[in-house]
Amino acid sequence: MSRSPALYTKSLTSKARRTVLKAGSTLLLSVIAPASARAAQILAVRVWPAEDYTRVTLENDSDLKTSHFIVKDPERLVVDIEGIDLNPELKSLVAKIQSNDPYIRQVRVGQNRPQVVRLVFDLKEEITPQVFTLKPVGEYRHRLVFDLYPSEPIDPIAALIKKGEWAKEEPADTMSSLIESKLDSKSKPADTQTAKANLKEELAKQTMRMVTIALDPGHGGEDPGAVGRSGSKEKDVVLAIAKRLKAKLEEQPNVRVMLTRDGDYFVPLHVRVQKARKVQADLFVSIHADAWIEPTARGSSVFALSEKGASSTAARWLANKENAADLIGGVNIKGQDRQLAHVLLDLSTTAQIKDSLQLAKAVLGEIGGINKLHKNGVEQAGFAVLKAPDIPSILVETAFISNPEEEAKLTDDGYQDQMATALTNGIKKYFAKNPPMAKGRMM
């Protein structure tokens, strides 16, 4: 049966319209579908091995969903990450595991199924993993974090003993033995009593119990701290100064030193305080390098805790910046007892602050001999890391890393050594006026 020209034209027009609509739908789907089904992208991979724990960080452009489980014999941690495909950045994780990593032997990475990547960490010992995500902060995008802690938490004192850095306390009868060894056996009884009294007074000035000092190099790991114009990182220069200071302090009689971190890894603020308390530290010195929005700012500063607010606007700003270290470094909020941490950091006492101010003044006086002081007096603010209730605690800003001239100083071996010497002398002056007394074991 033949069609009329009009009907034929109408049929062609209808068919063409359907073809165009179909093509349009296909084009629309091709635009929309990839956006909704696009896999997340891993932007950077970082590994931070340390004696305390090993951290692995995957930085990505969106929040990721994960599941993980432990496999025994041999020990393995298996992690499945949804919504991503294997890319070169993620593959680079394999080469970033160091042979001396305390907890990870090696890692294997593979596409387990479409848009699901599986990581298998072959472990050196039993671990307790914490897997969590961090929202974008500072220069970081979304982060997926794996913290691999030993199943048996490391005791700071045990770790120092293992390294040979924890000397035993002197015996209780040390004073008596020293007195007897110095007395002439032919002395008359009356002379002996007088000599004993004189020697006891003399030796009391020379002999003291072991003094434990906690040094706290700020920042570390995921948290670089302030960064200078030449690229110097606060976390690196303050660790270098802390190690020099440790060596100088340990040259003094009856002094032992604990570093809250001895490598490039992140330590939460409240953990720094807990470490100092566990080793019964007599002093806590947190070491930093200042920064300001203007490169002309310069000078060294010493801070103590304040009960009544900051001593200046700049001190308050600095305390807020330093207290934000946990956000940048990355704390697993769900993995810690926040109430306990809050209580610990709210137990500061008037006596502690009074002693801290004396220590701060002694140190400030010495630092002023090697660098211009930003402020002539000790400043105070609510630094979380200074809130140990029973330990005199100060925070030292060694110089402004944001100032090009002072950045050069901070990276100079000579200046680092001068700063360590000044801090040592300040601590010695404090103890000369405040000799440590015997004390009981802290909880």
Burial class (CB in 10 A: 0-12, 13-18, 19+), 213: buried
Residue 34, pLDDT > 50, answer no
Distance CA 133, CA 433 (A): 49
Who wins on pLDDT, 178 or 404?
Answer: 404
Q: Which of 147-156, 159-168, 399-408 has the lowest mean pLDDT?
A: 159-168
Q: Read off the pLDDT band of 292 (50, 70, 90).
A: confident
Domains of the chain as residue ranges with CATH? 42-150 (2.60.40.3500), 156-165+207-433 (3.40.630.40), 174-205 (no CATH)
Sequence letter at residue 58: L
Mean pLDDT for 393-409 is 95
Tokens 């992208």 belong to 41
Q: Is residue 396 within 8 Å of residue 304, measured between CB atoms?
A: no
| pLDDT tens profile 86-106 | 999 999 999 999 999 999 999
pLDDT given for residue 219 in this prediction: 95
Who wins on pLDDT, 206 or 141?
Answer: 141
Residue 371, pLDDT > 90, answer yes
pLDDT given for residue 29 in this prediction: 39
Mean pLDDT for 24-43 is 54
Q: Read off the pLDDT band of 162 (50, 70, 90).
A: confident
Structure tokens at 103: 């907890």
Highest-confidence segment of 142-146, 179-183, 192-196, 322-326: 142-146
Q: CB 439: neighbour CB atoms within 10 A?
A: 10
Residue 167, pLDDT > 90, answer no
Who wins on pLDDT, 398 or 437?
Answer: 398
Q: State the number of CA atoms in the 13 A half-sphere of 33 facing the CB.
A: 6
| pLDDT tens profile 217-268 | 999 999 999 999 999 999 999 999 999 999 999 999 889 999 999 999 999 9
pLDDT given for residue 209 in this prediction: 77
pLDDT given for residue 192 in this prediction: 63
* pLDDT > 70 in the chain, percent: 75
Burial class (CB in 10 A: 0-12, 13-18, 19+), 66: middle
Distance CA 72, CA 299 (A): 55
Q: Is residue 280 within 8 Å of residue 393, measured between CB atoms?
A: no
CA-closest candidate to residue 284, choices 237, 217, 331 = 217
Q: State the number of CA atoms in the 13 A half-sphere of 182 facing the CB.
A: 16
Q: Read off the pLDDT band of 163 (50, 70, 90).
A: confident
Structure tokens at 397: 């800003």
Q: 154's torsion region: left (phi>0), alpha (psi -120 to 50) or beta?
A: beta
Q: 221's torsion region: left (phi>0), alpha (psi -120 to 50) or beta?
A: left
pLDDT given for residue 166 in this prediction: 82
Who wins on pLDDT, 60 or 159?
Answer: 60
